[in-house]
A and B are shown apart, each in its own frame.
Chain A
Amino acid sequence: MIKKIFRVEDMHCSNCALKLESLEEILEGVKEINASYHKLEMVVEYDENKLTEVEIVRAVKKKGYTAALA
């Protein structure tokens, strides 16, 4: 398991953080996602053998946001 922080600059309310956290149930290999609108970032704990950074960024994109490694 690895923990990485992604900056999501285009979050504009707490709803966005909730939307991003709901990726927990969609992305295989994710253990936990903690998104914060206050900090404009999301901390993703995931299995690097099952998931890549690119896939996370792509999933975030599908939710309507742009993520970049912090």
Chain B
Amino acid sequence: MIWEVFRQEQRGKYHTHCGNVHAPDKEMALMFAQIQHGRRRPTHSLWVTPRDEIGEVDAEETRFGGTTDKSYRWASTFNTDEDFAAEIAASQREQEAAERERAEQDGGAERGSDAEQGAEEGESA
């Protein structure tokens, strides 16, 4: 029988899954888990649970509550995905062209404007 083992490093933290042990019952599972999963890392507590008692549902079976793509919520920069809409791609090209033009005209002279700053960054990238 397989028992899944969850380790808690410090009091108050979550128990996280760390592996499993083969054991005939809970007492033996706890005994083996101490050596196999508690011994080499800081451990405050261990849980064991029969693998069969764990319920599972995965992405093939469900959409986890909805169809809306909420990946935009994870945006960590302001770079926008151009493929999202033709307008965005067009606008992006337009700005790049304009920045290139300005940079050629000024030959790298100091201007201090925000647009200039943006152009330099764009080219070096």
> Are A and B interaction partners?
no
Chain B residues with a Cβ under 8 A of chain A: none
